[in-house]
């Protein structure tokens, strides 16, 4: 995928996320005064209204990371091992941050951490 195609895909994802976030009752009063918040500002607002555990917050964080990676030429590079993320993984999820091997390792490690915390 070209840089322009990736940018367009990320823009489409951002538009969808903004609609979903704007529909959250906790966010409606916060977003009334301004419509064009940056991603960083949206992340901050969601933090202020205690939505850090909401699935949309995680998607927003992943979108922000993907945009940053694209800007510095690292889009499609695994955040853990720095190898290329498999094209089919990126096609399935353009916000993917890890290759299959690292994703499996991360999931296994995260499950172990959850067990230790409960």
Which domains occur in the chain, in start order? 3-117 (1.20.120.910)
Residue 97 tokens, joined: 């941050």
pLDDT of residue 109: 83
Total Cβ atoms within 10 A of residue 63:
22
Burial class (CB in 10 A: 0-12, 13-18, 19+), 22: middle
Phi-psi label, residue 73: left if phi above 0, alpha if psi -120 to 50, beta otherwise:
left
Q: 71-102: per-residue pLDDT in tens?
A: 999 999 999 999 999 999 999 999 999 999 99
Q: Report, in this order, helix, strand and coil percent for the chain, each rounded to 5.
A: 65, 0, 30
pLDDT at 1: 77
């Amino acid at each position: 995928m070209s840089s322009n195609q990736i940018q367009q895909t990320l823009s489409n994802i951002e538009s969808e996320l903004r609609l979903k976030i704007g529909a959250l009752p906790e966010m409606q009063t916060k977003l009334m005064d301004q419509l064009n918040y940056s991603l960083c500002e949206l992340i901050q607002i969601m933090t202020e209204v205690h939505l850090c555990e909401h699935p949309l917050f995680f998607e927003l964080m992943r979108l922000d990371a993907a945009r940053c990676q694209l800007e510095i030429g690292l889009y499609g590079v695994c955040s853990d091992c720095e190898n290329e993320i498999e094209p089919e993984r990126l096609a399935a999820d353009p916000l993917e941050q890890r290759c299959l091997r690292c994703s499996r390792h991360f999931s296994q490690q995260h499950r172990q951490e959850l067990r230790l915390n409960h």
